[in-house]
Amino acid sequence: MNPHPSSGPCPCGTGRPYAGCCGALHAAHAAGQGLTAATPEALMRSRYAAFVLDLRPYLLASWHASTRPAALAPPEPGLKWLGLAVKHSAMQGTDHGTVEFVARSKLAGRAHRLRETSRFVREHGAWFYVDGDLEN
């Protein structure tokens, strides 16, 4: 598990301190306050930060029940997340949204780019990741 950057910048790329950005969302969930992201983009950024920090319980909780896996495998040894770039974020009504992003990583000396357009839904006031389309 990666150390939490409690005093450093948030891994999600906003430039804000972790504690006042995704760290606040992760802490609220860990304290039993549920999912508190205000927008699909905020949830997507918090999920990226959770991947960086290996917060699998948060990832599973923020995944919609209709598409959520039973468990998540630990990250591959040596995986290093390098950054996130949000390309586009849009709402479809009040309870559906999409976020297009590129996440960069490095594993075994090779750089990787994950480009996805993710779909989100809001239920009972909380945003959830539903699924996404990978792009080349």
Element (H, E) at 86: strand 80-91
With cut-offs at 50, 70 and 90, classify the pLDDT of residue 5: low
Q: Is residue 10 part of a domain?
A: no
Structural domains counted in the chain: 1
Furthest-apart CA atoms within the chain: distance in Å: 43
Looking at the domain assignment, is residue 110 inside a domain? yes
Give the global pTM.
0.94
Any domain includes 28: yes
Question: How far is it, in rounded angstroms, from Cα 2 to Cα 129?
Answer: 23
Q: pLDDT digits over 17-73, tens only?
A: 999 999 999 999 999 999 999 999 999 999 999 999 999 999 999 999 999 999 999
**Whose structure tokens read 């559906």?**
96
Strand order from edge to edge, sheet including 126-135: 80-91, 96-107, 110-123, 126-135
Considering the domain boundaries, does residue 13 fall inside one?
no
Identify the CATH number of the domain in which residue 73 sits.
Answer: 3.10.450.50
Does residue 3 sit within a domain? Answer: no
Q: Quote the CA–CA distance of 130 and 46 in Å, as a whole number.
A: 15
| 102 part of a folded domain | yes
8 found inside a domain: no
Domain extent for 44: 18-135
- Could you read off the pLDDT of 65-120 as tens digits, one per residue? 999 999 999 999 999 999 999 999 999 999 999 999 999 999 999 999 999 999 99
* DSSP per-residue letters across 109-133: TEEEEEEEEEEEEEETTEEEEEEEE
Two structure tokens written together for 29: 């969930």
DSSP character for 134?
E
Would residue 2 count as lying in a domain? no
Element (H, E) at 104: strand 96-107
User: To which residue do tokens 């802490």 refer?
Assistant: 27
